[in-house]
């Protein structure tokens, strides 16, 4: 089972699960998959347990690619309640928009 800090992500995950999405706890993140709709950005995403450490954004983008090979998008969420998302320059270097 999984838990989230963010009530918003908690609600999203509950609804996704009710609609048939899978939620898999992995080391440092949740992998959320909606096999019936592979183009659904926020139905196929990686939810990090915390903001990525400086220098780690590209690694998380690569992890998304391993979790969702062939996905036409890149969606990574951060489970936090303080608004922290990581280092802006690091995110930009990994071609991630906030």
Per-domain boundaries in the chain:
7-93
Other residues' Cβ atoms within 10 Å of the Cβ of residue 64: 21
Inform me whether the pLDDT recorded for 1 exceeds 80.
no
Residue pLDDT, tens place only, 4-35: 999 999 999 999 999 999 999 999 999 999 99
**Confidence class for position 97, pLDDT limits 50, 70, 90:** confident
Using CA atoms, how far apart are residues 48 and 85, in angstroms rounded to an integer? 10
pTM for this entry: 0.94
Largest CA distance in the chain: 37
Q: How far is CA 40 from CA 45, 50, 58, 88, in A?
A: 9, 23, 22, 25
């Amino acid at each position: 089972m999984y838990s989230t800090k963010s009530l918003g992500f908690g609600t999203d995950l509950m609804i996704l699960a009710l609609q048939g999405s899978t939620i898999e706890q992995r080391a440092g993140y949740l992998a959320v998959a909606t096999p019936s709709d592979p183009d659904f950005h926020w139905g196929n995403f990686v939810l990090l347990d915390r903001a990525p450490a400086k220098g780690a954004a590209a690694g998380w983008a690569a992890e998304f690619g391993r979790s969702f090979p062939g996905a036409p998008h890149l969606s990574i969420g951060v489970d936090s309640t303080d608004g922290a998302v990581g280092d802006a320059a690091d995110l930009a270097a990994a071609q991630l928009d906030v």
